[in-house]
């Protein structure tokens, strides 16, 4: 390829460190598509004869069929997917294949191929997250009234509904979808035609190739176009935030599935056993989601560090842009699929959840609020009175609503029998009816909105 400039071939070490075909062969579909768009434009512009353009396009179809049937061969002497395809094309159609690379460089070629791949990855992530949202909304609808303890600091705070809890993750993954959509929008400019870094002297039609490949416009600056990897970083940043949300949900399922909690039984198909302890049912899929998400974060870090010191335009360091993106995309797809399966197949032990809410003094805030509203007690004083009531209930091993009126009045005589309407977990969640609150009526409203947005059948 570039032997005319060099008296000697590359050493074995150079050959190995330079070859990217083991990983960039994943771009073969994008490379074929971009090459076909490029040669069609060359033919339309009269840069390549109609006969050669037709032969090249037909030859590329034959190469694609071979790749589809047999995979992409790995010849390290050919370095990458671009030269692998061009070499095979030459074997199939002869010297006309050499005209394909007119008015382009591997620099704009790889930027185009990679951007096409990442655009598709954004679309795939959005679709997978949509399926996860459907699973969450479906289960939230089932459990709009199921009471569980809400936590802060992993300590029982206030009672909430399971439906409300699940819908919180629906919101998180909705933001993730918006980030992938935003990233996809910023990938709307096509680098093809920027050549090595300065553009080309051939009368090419960049609008034509951009449109053929599904881009809105060509890139406006050739230096930026061949050295830009913001699109890959955008994808990895969106993937990282999505991974953080997946990991949080995985952590909750792991904790909930433990015997001390006992809130959920995860599906057998996404759990494993122990080689020595026959009683064990381990939440390994959730744990692997939690672990894999750390690798997604690592992929982002890898590319950030690679790009941080590169001057314009292309540098060979940028060959290392693809492995972290490919790894992150594969891991993210697997994690979303696993989490969707866990949400769909989980058995929620709602009686156990309710019991934990009742015994965790989750309605303490409701007692304080009642004192403020009904007895005109300043909140700080009400907070102190409620703390004394919780201490008494804890010493007796009962819920707050199981204390007698006499016991409560011994703490503060301003408490009367009306207080019991506020102390049950049912009354507590029902009272949280502000927009976005945990009250069942609010959960059902949010579920209905989500179903409409997701196109779910009622």
User: Which positions are annotated as active-site residues?
Assistant: 153, 274
In which element (H, E) is residue 62 found? helix 50-70
**Alpha helix (H) ranges present in 143-263?**
162-186, 206-212, 222-227, 230-257
CA nearest neighbour of 335 among 141, 116, 131, 162: 131
Strand residue runs (E) in 266-338: none
CA separation for the pair 254, 241 (Å, rounded)? 20
Sign of CA dihedral 445, 448, 452, 453: positive
Of 283, 264, 252, nearest to 348 by C-alpha is 264
Q: In 71-191, which residue ranges form alpha helices assigned H by DSSP?
A: 81-93, 106-142, 162-186
Residue 68, C-beta contacts closer than 8 angstroms, at least 6 positions apart: none
Q: Which residue has the tokens 């339309």?
A: 44
Burial class (CB in 10 A: 0-12, 13-18, 19+), 297: middle
């Amino acid at each position: 390829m570039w032997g005319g400039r060099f008296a000697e071939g590359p050493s074995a070490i150079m050959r190995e460190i330079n070859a990217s075909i083991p990983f960039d062969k994943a771009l073969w579909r994008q490379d074929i598509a971009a090459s076909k768009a490029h040669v069609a434009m060359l033919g339309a512009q009269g840069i390549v004869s109609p006969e050669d353009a037709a032969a090249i396009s037909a030859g590329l179809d034959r190469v694609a069929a071979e790749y589809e049937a047999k995979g992409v061969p790995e010849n390290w002497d050919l370095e990458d997917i671009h030269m692998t395809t061009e070499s095979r094309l030459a074997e199939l159609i002869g010297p006309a294949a050499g005209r394909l690379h007119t008015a382009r460089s591997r620099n704009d070629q790889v930027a185009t191929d990679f951007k096409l791949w990442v655009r598709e990855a954004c679309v795939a992530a959005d679709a997978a997250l949509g399926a996860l949202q459907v699973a969450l909304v479906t289960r939230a609808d089932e459990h709009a009234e199921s009471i569980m303890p809400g936590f802060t600091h992993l300590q029982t705070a206030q009672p909430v509904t399971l439906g409300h809890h699940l819908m919180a993750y629906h919101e998180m993954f909705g933001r993730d979808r918006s980030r992938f959509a935003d990233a996809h929008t910023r990938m709307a400019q096509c680098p093809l035609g920027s050549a090595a870094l300065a553009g080309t002297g051939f009368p090419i039609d960049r609008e034509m190739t951009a449109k053929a490949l599904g881009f809105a416009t060509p890139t406006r600056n050739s230096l930026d176009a061949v050295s830009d990897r913001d699109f890959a970083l955008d994808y990895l940043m969106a993937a990282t935030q999505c991974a953080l949300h997946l990991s949080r949900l995985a952590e909750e399922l792991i904790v909930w599935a433990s015997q001390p909690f006992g809130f959920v039984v995860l599906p057998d198909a996404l759990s494993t056993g122990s080689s020595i302890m026959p009683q064990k049912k381990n939440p390994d899929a959730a744990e692997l989601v939690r672990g894999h998400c750390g690798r997604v974060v690592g992929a982002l870090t890898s590319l950030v560090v690679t790009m941080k010191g590169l001057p314009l335009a292309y540098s060979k360091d940028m060959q290392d842009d693809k492995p972290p993106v490919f790894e992150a995309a594969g891991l993210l797809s697997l994690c979303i699929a696993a989490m969707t399966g866990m949400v769909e197949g989980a058995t929620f032990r709602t009686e156990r959840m309710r019991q934990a809410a009742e015994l965790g003094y989750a309605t303490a805030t409701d007692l304080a609020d009642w004192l403020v509203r009904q007895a005109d007690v300043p909140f700080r004083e009400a907070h102190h009175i409620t703390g004394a009531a919780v201490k008494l209930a804890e010493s007796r091993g009962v819920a707050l609503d199981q204390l007698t009126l006499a016991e409560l009045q011994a703490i503060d005589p301003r408490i009367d029998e009306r207080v019991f309407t506020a102390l049950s977990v049912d009354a507590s969640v029902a009272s949280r009816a502000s927009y976005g609150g945990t009250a069942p009526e609010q959960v059902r409203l949010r579920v209905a909105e989500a179903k409409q947005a997701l196109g779910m059948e009622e």
